[in-house]
Structure 1
Amino acid sequence: MFVGSLRLKLLINGSRTLKDKRQVVRSILDTVRSRRNVAAAEVGSLDNTSVAELGFATVNGQMNKVRESVDWIVNFIQDNYDLEILEQEITVY
């Protein structure tokens, strides 16, 4: 069994209030959860209006499937949201 974890620190462009931020964060988390079999949550920077820290975790019997899911999440977020990835930490074991 292999476990993959991903932590992203994101700068959300155009977010001026916590409501703006939460709308983007909820969209990301809900969409990723529905399209991939992963656990997802906001894990830091909760009171910052333009920075979000998100964590994702997945488990699979094949390491390449775990890595594929983690890579898909990063690419999906970059391609579909107006934000910048400030930090990215991937662990597969």
Structure 2
Amino acid sequence: MRGMVIGVSTATLRIAGARSLKDKRRVLKSVLTRLHNRFNVAAAEVGRHDSHQEAEVGIACVSTAGSHADQVLAAVMGFLEAEGEIELVDYHTELL
């Protein structure tokens, strides 16, 4: 049986254009859906729920190789850095 690796990243995002929680949720929903569709990862808001302009997002992927999981999560962070409606403030990645 082959091993399983779970890659997990937590990202802190700033959504400068959000003037309300509704604006924030609209932007986040769009970004999270694109992450899932493009990278086949699970992603959800996991913190800073009451802040209009900040969000903490958890991203996870499952792979048979740690290097692959790390590459996928690095690509996700690159996508978030290039995203126009948000700013990637900080992130942390670990492999389980």
Which TM-score applies when normalising by structure 2? Answer: 0.89
Unaligned runs of 5+ in 2: none
- Give the Cα separation in 2 of the matches to 1:87 and 1:48: 16
Equivalent residue in structure 1 for 2:15, among 4, 12, 21: 12
Report the Cα offset of residue 84 of structure 1. Answer: 2.2
Contact 2:27 2:85 in 1 (8 A): no
Cα RMSD (Å): 1.1
Runs of 4+ more than 4 Å apart:
none
- The answer as to 2:67 corresponding to 1:61 is no
Equivalent residue in structure 2 for 1:86, among 70, 76, 89: 89
Contact 2:7 2:94 in 1 (8 A): yes
- Give the Cα separation in 2 of the matches to 1:82 and 1:39: 20
Please list the CA deviations of residues 10-38 of structure 1 after superposition, one character each: whole Å capped at 9, or x if unmatched: 11111111111111100111001111221
**What does 1:13-32 align with in structure 2 at a 5 Å threshold?**
13-32=16-35
Please state whether the residue corresponding to 1:82 is helix, strand or coil: coil
- Give the Cα separation in 2 of the matches to 1:81 and 1:4: 25
Please state whether the residue corresponding to 2:91 is helix, strand or coil: strand
Equivalent residue in structure 2 for 1:40, among 40, 43, 46: 43
Please list the CA deviations of residues 27-72 of structure 1 after superposition, one character each: whole Å capped at 9, or x if unmatched: 1110011112211110011111000110011110011210111011
Equivalent residue in structure 1 for 2:53, among 22, 46, 50: 50
Which TM-score applies when normalising by structure 1? Answer: 0.92
Higher-Rg structure is 2
- Identity %, equivalent residues: 33
Q: How many correspondences in the alignment?
A: 93
